[in-house]
């Protein structure tokens, strides 16, 4: 079980590593001028990045749609079978992994952030929108850009929240963060240990990481 959860935390770091200069893509195309729709949809992305950058992790986590992430990781039927308090428990420990493992690494990368460029959003299944954000990082000798695709879900208050994301690769099919997490970590551990075993293992790992 420990190996599964260690791999889970390392998986988060692998996403962060995609923002390092060795994998950044130069000359990504995106317009600095955004439409009113793009401005509205991009708000949770801006909030996420700025909050991480300035060590406001609790605010950063409010940019994620935990319910949508739970449905994606477990399937709508299995997720719906869990009581509300168990759903909240999973969302908390998942987001704790983000703040403990991923955010510190991203914070370091964002020290060199120059700007973020947004393309126009495109419609996806079930009313979701995909928005490409090109993160521009200014290094000592050059400017690099990395395109990140965000999947956003509409909320009852008319706003939008991030449910998934992936680095936009060149010449290959993208694999989203949640898809990779589900296939490599969550699904195998859930099948082996069940709901309680999965949550307990994740909570134990988070507690260990917080002590470091």
pTM over 0.75: yes
- Whether the Cβ atoms of residue 206 and residue 97 lie closer than 8 Å to each other: yes
Sequence-distant (≥ 6) Cβ neighbours of residue 206 within 8 angstroms: 93, 96, 97, 100
- Whether the Cβ atoms of residue 94 and residue 102 lie closer than 8 Å to each other: no
pLDDT in tens, the chain (212 residues): 444 443 444 445 444 444 444 444 433 344 456 788 999 999 999 999 999 999 999 999 999 999 999 999 999 999 999 999 999 999 999 999 999 988 998 898 888 899 999 999 999 998 999 999 999 988 778 888 889 999 999 999 999 999 999 987 666 677 899 999 999 989 999 999 999 999 999 999 999 998 88
Q: Which domains does the chain have, with CATH numbers?
A: 2-210 (3.10.450.710)
- Whether the Cβ atoms of residue 54 and residue 144 lie closer than 8 Å to each other: no
- Whether the Cβ atoms of residue 83 and residue 70 lie closer than 8 Å to each other: no
């Amino acid at each position: 079980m420990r190996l599964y959860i260690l791999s889970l935390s390392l998986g988060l770091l692998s996403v962060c590593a995609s923002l390092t200069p060795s994998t950044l893509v130069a000359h990504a195309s995106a317009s600095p001028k955004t439409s009113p729709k793009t401005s509205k949809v991009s708000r949770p992305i801006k909030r996420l990045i700025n909050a991480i950058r300035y060590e406001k992790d609790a605010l950063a986590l409010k940019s994620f749609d935990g319910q949508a992430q739970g449905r994606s990781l477990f399937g709508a039927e299995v997720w719906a079978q869990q009581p509300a308090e168990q759903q909240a428990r999973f969302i908390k420990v998942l987001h704790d992994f983000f703040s403990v493992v991923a955010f510190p690494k991203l914070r370091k990368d964002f020290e060199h952030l120059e700007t973020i460029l947004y393309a126009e959003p495109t419609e996806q299944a079930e009313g979701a929108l995909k928005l490409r954000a090109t993160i521009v990082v200014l290094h000592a000798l050059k400017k690099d850009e990395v395109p990140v695709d965000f999947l956003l879900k509409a909320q009852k208050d008319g706003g939008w929240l991030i449910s998934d994301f992936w680095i936009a690769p060149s010449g290959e099919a993208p694999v989203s963060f949640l898809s990779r997490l589900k296939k490599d970590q969550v699904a195998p551990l859930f099948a082996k240990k069940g709901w309680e075993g999965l949550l307990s293992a994740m909570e134990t790992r988070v507690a260990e990481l917080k002590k470091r």
